[in-house]
Structure 1
Amino acid sequence: MKPQPDYFDQDAESTFKNLSEEYAKAQCSIKELDMRNKKLTEELRKEKSHVDKLKEELKRREGTKKDTGKNEALTRFNEIAGRRLLDNDASIADLSTEIRPSKIGENFKILYDNEWTEAFEELTEQGKTEEECIKTLLHIVQDTFTFAMEKAKSFESKLISIVTSFPANANSSNKNTTKDEEELIKQLKRVSAARTCTAVQDVYVRKFKIKGKIGERLKLYARKCMELCWYMAVQSPPMVIISAVQCKGPFDEKYYSRYTATGDLIDYVVWPCTLLHENGPVLAKGVAQATKDNREAFKRKQAPAAPKQNSDERWSSTKQGAVGQEGISNQNTRYQKKDEKK
């Protein structure tokens, strides 16, 4: 008799096979989940590390900010203290800027040596005499100085208006500025000097061109004069140039060097003298043409030469001088009376 198939065993085998497959799938899922878990754990670790770094960075920045604020406050304090030391004492050099009085005086002398000479040659080529060239160039530097002082005064008035909120055209007696405001205005004038200089130069050269055609070297000379005069005008207190002197007055070597002639009197000024401030010390000597006192020279020429004496004659005249002094005096009196009668 043929045995019948055992359906139970077949079902069990099929079930076992299904379970095995499911188990295998479960194992794969477990592995995948384990891998994802490891990956997430690593990402979490990295994020935690990043958060820690951000916390450290934040802490460091807060510390730096505090230090920076402290340093800025200290720097500001030192700056104000330094400015107060310099305030109203122009003899102390402000080395924080190139636009300082000693440097301006040095550059003003260089201007005479270089640009003045070039402009002088250009005017000479146009047929002007030496004196005409000197007068023209002196007039330009005087005019630029006056122009710079006027513009600097207007500029300071605008700064006061900005800092204090006073109208620019308000009465100056009503503009009661504090010391800090005055200090700020002085700093703004110094800091902006180089930038504002270009604008002032352009305005002056346009005004200069209206008066007539000018050469390139003369225009360069005018611009350089305007630059240095502007730097003089924005100083606290302003610098001063001296070019007005008494003609035939005594030649003062403290203020001027001689141009081409020698002598003890001033004939005319060639280049101005630069002072630190009004009635202040000399920063750069000017140049002036010297002359001699012709009246004294004429008297010396007309006076008769004294006769030469030997040693015996000199001794005799010395010996007789004391004895005959009274007689000589009386004789002179008689001559005077005769002249009066005549």
Structure 2
Amino acid sequence: MGKPGKRSKKGPEARISLGSLLLNYTKKVASVAIKIKNWILSNMFRLTLFIYRGTFGRYAEVKGLKNKIKELKECAVSERKTRKEEITHLESSFSLVEAENMALKERVQELIAEKKILEEDKRDALRRLSEQVSVKLRDNNPNIADLNDQFRPTKLAEMFSELYDNEWTSAYALLEGPLEEELAIVVLLGIVMEAYVFCEARVAEPWTVTTEWFLDMSVPGAQQTRKWLKDSLKATIRTKVHAVENEYELKIMAICKNDKLAELLLRKEMKLFRTKCIELCLLMVTTDPPVVLECPQWTSITQPNTSESTKDVPNKSVCGKSGEGKEDTMRPREITLTKTHDELTDIVENASSEAREKLLFDKDLFKEYTCRGKYLDYVVWPALFLHKDGALLSKGIAQGTEQYQEEEKEGWTWLTVGQTK
């Protein structure tokens, strides 16, 4: 550090160096400017030509682009006009298509409704055809069982057996005191057999009037109508039991000539047995075809025999099997006395007025009552068949004996019985 009052020796020299530097820089700048000026002057023509070419070249390009834009605008206007016409045409076509579509929808709805009607007609036709086939199969055909029928033949057979086990037993207990055993059995057998004959005739009367006066079988649908009437008759027949039982009671009481028997017939046990017989017999005769009872050596008192050729022949029940074919099973049958089996013909041909030959005991048809034997002594309870000449539904009950002939008995029936113990 120098002493105060003395100047630094480096100051002037520093200022000279700075000035020199500035001067040199200025000279260099001036030299560069001169060179640029000289280059511009020497290349002025080229530069002017370049600018001219650039300016007028771009102008032509811009003009070309403007022309192109104009053409594009004109093309766009034309295209828009064309598109608008197409849109108008499409809108018109769409309206037509929409109207056609609506018409087709309406037609489709009509076809759907028509299809529904046709399907209903088809179902109805199939139903009617099925009913016709069903009617033809079921009408008077025991081989087709109606499982909806609570009183079909097999069920009636069960009820008929229960009738013997219950009501018959009670009624027999009432009669076995005043009457001999066989006479009591004859009375009860007569009640059930006469009830069947009575019910058969009672049902046949209105049925004959209906079919002969109001049903023309040559008219289409007559068979279905007849089958419907048969089914309706059976469905409503139980409502007629009380009225028919009263008619039956009046009829047998008018025929009965024995006061003691008449008094017994009016007892509660007998009335209950008689009512049950009427109910079951009405159901049997209104079954299609009717269920039948068979009782050899029994003849109806209320309906006399119309067959002269068989009056001396030991016979089976008027309710037995007979005939073939598809006749109207609800019409009244001619009352005939026929044999139980063909093989019994030789046995009964030589019957005399002094002694009556007995029928062989048919174990396929009857069960033994209290005695067994080769021959049939008397029937206790009738056999039940599916229909005329049909299958056996339930066996009857009969008394057997070993005696081939029996002594001549006094003529008696359950309505004129006078013997008592």
TM-score normalised by the chain length of structure 1: 0.58
Deviation string, structure 1 residues 97-147 (Cα, Å, up to 9, x no partner): 12222221221112111111111112235x222212111110011111111
Compared with structure 1, are the counterparts of its residues 179 and 138 closer, same or farther at alpha carbon in structure 2 (3 Å cutoff)? farther
Using the TM superposition, give the Cα deviation of residue 275 of structure 1 relative to its aligned residue in structure 2, in angstroms.
1.2
Compared with structure 1, are the counterparts of its residues 153 and 182 closer, same or farther at alpha carbon in structure 2 (3 Å cutoff)? farther
Determine which structure has more spread, i.e. the larger CA radius of gyration: 2
CA distance in 1, matches of 2:211, 2:134: 22
The answer to whether residue 415 in structure 2 is matched with residue 293 in structure 1 is no
In terms of fraction of residues, the more helix-rich structure is 1
Residue 309 of structure 2 aligns with which residue? none
Compared with structure 1, are the counterparts of its residues 180 and 62 closer, same or farther at alpha carbon in structure 2 (3 Å cutoff)? closer
The answer to whether residue 139 in structure 2 is matched with residue 81 in structure 1 is no
Using the TM superposition, give the Cα deviation of residue 198 of structure 1 relative to its aligned residue in structure 2, in angstroms.
3.1
Compared with structure 1, are the counterparts of its residues 87 and 291 closer, same or farther at alpha carbon in structure 2 (3 Å cutoff)? same
The answer to whether residue 295 in structure 2 is matched with residue 243 in structure 1 is yes
SS of 1:114's equivalent in the other structure is helix
Residue 183 of structure 1 aligns with which residue? 224
Using the TM superposition, give the Cα deviation of residue 263 of structure 1 relative to its aligned residue in structure 2, in angstroms.
1.0
Using the TM superposition, give the Cα deviation of residue 177 of structure 1 relative to its aligned residue in structure 2, in angstroms.
4.7
Out of 90-99 and 141-150, give the one that drifted further: 90-99
Q: How do residues 206-245 of structure 1 correspond to structure 2 at under 5 angstroms? A: 206-209=247-250, 211=253, 212-213=262-263, 214-245=266-297
Q: Which amino acid aligns with 1:83?
A: V
Q: How do residues 299-314 of structure 1 correspond to structure 2 at under 5 angstroms? A: none
Residue 331 of structure 1 aligns with which residue? none
- Gapped regions of structure 1 (runs ≥ 5): 1-60, 165-174, 296-342
Using the TM superposition, give the Cα deviation of residue 201 of structure 1 relative to its aligned residue in structure 2, in angstroms.
4.1
Q: Which amino acid aligns with 1:185?
A: R
Q: Which amino acid aligns with 1:254?
A: D
Task: Confirm or deny: 8 A CA contact 1:205 1:219 kept in the other structure.
Answer: no
Task: Confirm or deny: 8 A CA contact 1:240 1:276 kept in the other structure.
Answer: yes
Using the TM superposition, give the Cα deviation of residue 178 of structure 1 relative to its aligned residue in structure 2, in angstroms.
4.3
Residue 119 of structure 1 aligns with which residue? 171
Compared with structure 1, are the counterparts of its residues 207 and 233 closer, same or farther at alpha carbon in structure 2 (3 Å cutoff)? closer
| From 233, 237, 246, the counterpart of 1:196 | 237
Residue 180 of structure 2 aligns with which residue? 129
CA distance in 2, matches of 1:192, 1:62: 39
| From 253, 259, 276, the counterpart of 2:369 | 259
SS of 1:151's equivalent in the other structure is helix
TM-score normalised by the chain length of structure 2: 0.48
Residue 202 of structure 2 aligns with which residue? 151
The answer to whether residue 179 in structure 2 is matched with residue 138 in structure 1 is no
Out of 65-74 and 259-268, give the one that drifted further: 65-74
Compared with structure 1, are the counterparts of its residues 234 and 263 closer, same or farther at alpha carbon in structure 2 (3 Å cutoff)? same
Task: Confirm or deny: 8 A CA contact 1:242 1:274 kept in the other structure.
Answer: yes
Deviation string, structure 1 residues 244-282 (Cα, Å, up to 9, x no partner): 245621111111111010111100000001111222211
Deviation string, structure 1 residues 171-201 (Cα, Å, up to 9, x no partner): xxxx655473233223222223242333254
What number of residue pairs does the alignment pair up? 226
Task: Confirm or deny: 8 A CA contact 1:256 1:285 kept in the other structure.
Answer: yes
Using the TM superposition, give the Cα deviation of residue 207 of structure 1 relative to its aligned residue in structure 2, in angstroms.
3.8
Q: How do residues 3-18 of structure 1 correspond to structure 2 at under 5 angstroms? A: none
Residue 103 of structure 1 aligns with which residue? 155
Using the TM superposition, give the Cα deviation of residue 222 of structure 1 relative to its aligned residue in structure 2, in angstroms.
1.0
